Structure 1
């Protein structure tokens, strides 16, 4: 039995780096991704802290896919 993406986000520890695809329109035809760390969780939302957009509260009902990802690569020296 597989776990739904919303269930996965509900069980991962805070601070886990994830990528989340979620719907951005009521019709469900458009989706976007959020890449960052889980910093908060409520009954029906998960908050992901991204580099570019800051904290994004994502309704779990709109999550299409989610998975943990490895830490970002180390910065390279010039």
Structure 2
């Protein structure tokens, strides 16, 4: 899943990873930067994305 949200500076950033939990106040995403807890009020957009492709075998 990818979640675009606002930082305290007003700049937008993305959290890309696995959705761990969601409720009325927060969304928790486990991604490459670790576990991120995002306030629902800061979220601009969110969507499900497919998993990355498996590595190709060498010929």
Q: TM-score, normalised by structure 2?
A: 0.84
* Count of aligned residue pairs for this structure pair: 58
Q: CA RMSD in A?
A: 1.4
Moved over 4 A (4+): none
Of 49, 52, 56, the match for 1:76: 56
The alpha carbon displacement at 1:77 in A equals: 2.9
> What 5-or-longer segments of structure 2 have no aligned partner?
none
> What 5-or-longer segments of structure 1 have no aligned partner?
1-17
Q: TM-score, normalised by structure 1?
A: 0.66
More strand by share: 2
